[in-house]
Structure 1
Amino acid sequence: MINHCHQFCCCNYQEQPWTMLKTDHEDLIGNDKYYGFAVDLIDVISQVLGFTYEIIIVHDGKFGSKLTNGEWDGIVGEILSGNASMSVAPLSINADREAALDFTKPFKTRGITVLIKTPKSQSSFWQFMLPLSTTVWLLVFMSFIVLSISLFFLEKVSVARTNVMPKLDSVTESGWFMFASLVGGGAEAAPTTLPGRIMSSGWWFFSLILISTYTANLAAFLTVKKINPPISKVGELIDQSTMKYGTVSDSGVETFFKSSKVDPFWRMYEQMALFDDMMVSSTEEGLSRVLDGDYAFLWDNSVNSYLVTTQCEFTEIGPAFDAKGFGIGLPPGSLYLEQLSMAILKLADSGRITEMEYK
């Protein structure tokens, strides 16, 4: 157990749902200003190991990448410079960061998905026609015309079984009878011959199936919002020209695309690197561009899933790829690496981390 008198300075990255400011944060001080998954995680770990901590937000708003002079920026730079004792943030573990810092066992695994603006549902005066396809409507209309004419001729050439009911003595009367049968109404005239009644019985059965199918589909169309996103998977971004796409500069996601040799990921990075306006400097800028429209943001699926759940303006396109772990970053040779890793494993085994994810 870590000495309770020891206080750590925890470097966090302000991002939903990891570390967020409370609505009344201006009236609060210290750690009380923040909430989120990362805040809950370090709070539970501190209780298990018995230490205190202070949360600071990385000053340059970056995760950490190696500069040309060999120095590091972002969260990694804060830890190496001694400004922070550890990182409790969505900092993915890759080869470069592992060489600079010591990481605990992963407390969560992330993948990459695409976040786009939810397409607007199209409404039309002819929306009541949507439950059936155009082909079906045309076939129903053609059947209606052919059977109306056929019923008239059957009634004309066949012998009537009774003279009580008015006869279908014109194509118009036959058509009206067929239409009334289709919509469940009544007609003044009706078939009086055996062939005409047999044909009418078949039309009634067809009308029953058609109306039942139409009603069920119409209810589904009116109750379920149908969304047709412009893409269905990440690989389709490379084959379209209407939507720009990108990710946060100097992030783990960019590192994946930059070093990938797999098609279409390497081709996607060539396009992202070709235009300056495809990359963003922060998550907030990426989300803002998504809301402005015609921009796809490639980012951590835990963030994307949270945004889709809480805000209807976003739609997530999967499946997730490039699975990597998030770990607590510590200075090289840290004495508390093993204890923190054991605490994370115990929390995972007990289901506490899963509880925090659901929260």
Structure 2
Amino acid sequence: MFKRDHKVRMGNDKYEGFAVDLVREVADMLDFDYEIYLVHDGKFGSRLPNGEWNGMMGELLSGNATMSVAPLSISSDREGAVDFTKPFMTRYISVLMKVPQSETSYFEFLNPLHHTVWICTFGAFIFVSITLYILERVGSMQKKDCPYISFRQSLWFVFGSLLQGSTDASPSTIPGRILASSWWFFALILISSYTANLAAFLTVKKINTPIKSVTDLASQTKIKYGTVRHSGIMSFFKNTNIEHFSKMWSQMSEIDPDSMVSTTEEGFKKVKQANFAFFWDTTVNKYMTIEDCEFMEVGPPFDPKGFGIGVPPGATYREDLSMAILKLSDTGKLHEMENKWWGRRNCPDLSKPSTDETSELQIENVAGVFFILLGGVAMAGVVCLAEYFVKKISRTVKKVR
């Protein structure tokens, strides 16, 4: 990659990345000088219809380059044209997509309980209120000095107990108190469970991804997908016999050929701007998800292949390069370089369970509570006005009489 201030730098100092670190370490071990340059067509290398090779493969075969140090996967076709060293990294293919917007709801506080539970709770409230009224009524008939609560007071008592509020009336008979005790226990468990679940629902950042795995892309047409033309990944889709991957290739090459891009930068830009999924190396995709939180990687990864340093066919220094790579692996230097570029993480990991990713409450999450409060205020005001006018009318009628 270019450094941020590459315009004021010269030579190899303009570049950075895992490949830059790798060639520097190999050069230090084998004591040679080198000059990094980018291929003019920006291609990795594939065979053209006339038999020629483009990209880095063409540069090696034409003698312009002494070696290629890049995420150039080793395939049988490429191995037949140039020589490769021992792999310095294993790559897979995965899908890069844009992170979907998190879902929000004004009535998020209703989600901790299933709608069936809400209906059953309301039914239990009505049933217990009626039962409590009947028990109190029957009990007060047997004991004349025992006051009983009216049906309205029974409803208010049961409702207030459920919301842990205080009420003036309370059961005075033993059956009524037994029923009230069981209702209190029911309310304790229900409210405790609701409160615990509510905290998770309101603070957990929920993201509904339309694509759960790579194979989901083959069974839908809404999201377009593609990869870089003349790349190893395109060759995999073109030559594979796996059913869903060959179906994807038909979609990319025949039905929607515009889904293929010329460069990786074009693919990343298309992911951001459109409803597009980009097939590319897991090493690059993972790095993009670390650097830019708008990206997410979808797996599972497939088609493992090795990245190797490419050299012209018959190059005598291939074995020296391979030994240098093996020594870097044995000493842990390769792993150290991998951690340098892929070890950190600045964005939430969407592959983890959603309970690990929490966020502060937004007004969208609890706006429904305020709506209910405003509705209660409005209803109370309407009832108050209605009572006022009813009393005023009744007084007027009495005066007329």
* Residue identity opposite 1:307 in structure 2: M
Counterpart-to-counterpart distance in 2, 1:164 and 1:288: 83
Q: Report whether the alignment pairs 1:300 with 2:278.
A: no
Q: Which runs of 4+ in 1 moved over 6 A?
A: 160-166
Counterpart-to-counterpart distance in 1, 2:163 and 2:145: 25
Aligned residue for 2:99?
118
Distance 1:45 1:224, change over 3 A: farther
Q: CA deviation at 1:199?
A: 2.0
Matches within 5 A, 1:2-13: none
Matches within 5 A, 1:31-180: 31-159=12-140, 167-170=148-151, 172-180=152-160
Counterpart-to-counterpart distance in 1, 2:190 and 2:144: 32
Distance 1:254 1:240, change over 3 A: same
Aligned residue for 1:342?
323
* Residue identity opposite 2:282 in structure 1: N
What is the TM-score of this pair, normalised by structure 2?
A: 0.80
Distance 1:168 1:344, change over 3 A: farther
Aligned residue for 2:200?
220
* Residue identity opposite 1:254 in structure 2: M
Q: Report whether the alignment pairs 1:198 with 2:178.
A: yes
Query: Which residue, out of 251, 263, 279, partners 1:271?
Result: 251
Counterpart-to-counterpart distance in 2, 1:256 and 1:184: 64
Rg larger in 1 or in 2? 2
Q: CA deviation at 1:161?
A: 11
Q: Report whether the alignment pairs 1:257 with 2:257.
A: no
Query: 1:162, 1:192 within 8 Å by CA — same for their partners in 2?
Result: no
Q: CA deviation at 1:164?
A: 11
Q: Which runs of no fewer than 5 residues in structure 2 stay unpaired?
A: 341-401
Q: CA deviation at 1:180?
A: 1.9
* Residue identity opposite 1:218 in structure 2: L
Query: 1:64, 1:74 within 8 Å by CA — same for their partners in 2?
Result: yes
Q: Which has the higher mean CA deviation after the structures are superposed, 173-182 or 102-111?
A: 173-182
* Residue identity opposite 1:61 in structure 2: G
Which of the pair is proportionally richer in strand? Answer: 1
* Residue identity opposite 1:248 in structure 2: V
Aligned residues: 339
Q: CA deviation at 1:153?
A: 1.6
Matches within 5 A, 1:278-357: 278-357=259-338
Q: Which has the higher mean CA deviation after the structures are superposed, 102-111 or 159-168?
A: 159-168
Aligned residue for 1:184?
164
Which of the pair is proportionally richer in helix? Answer: 2
Query: 2:93, 2:303 within 8 Å by CA — same for their partners in 1?
Result: yes
Aligned residue for 1:231?
211
Q: CA deviation at 1:186?
A: 1.4
> What is the RMSD computed on CA atoms of the aligned residues?
2.0
Q: CA deviation at 1:272?
A: 0.8
Q: Which runs of no fewer than 5 residues in structure 1 stay unpaired?
A: 1-19
Counterpart-to-counterpart distance in 2, 1:76 and 1:244: 29
What is the TM-score of this pair, normalised by structure 1?
A: 0.90
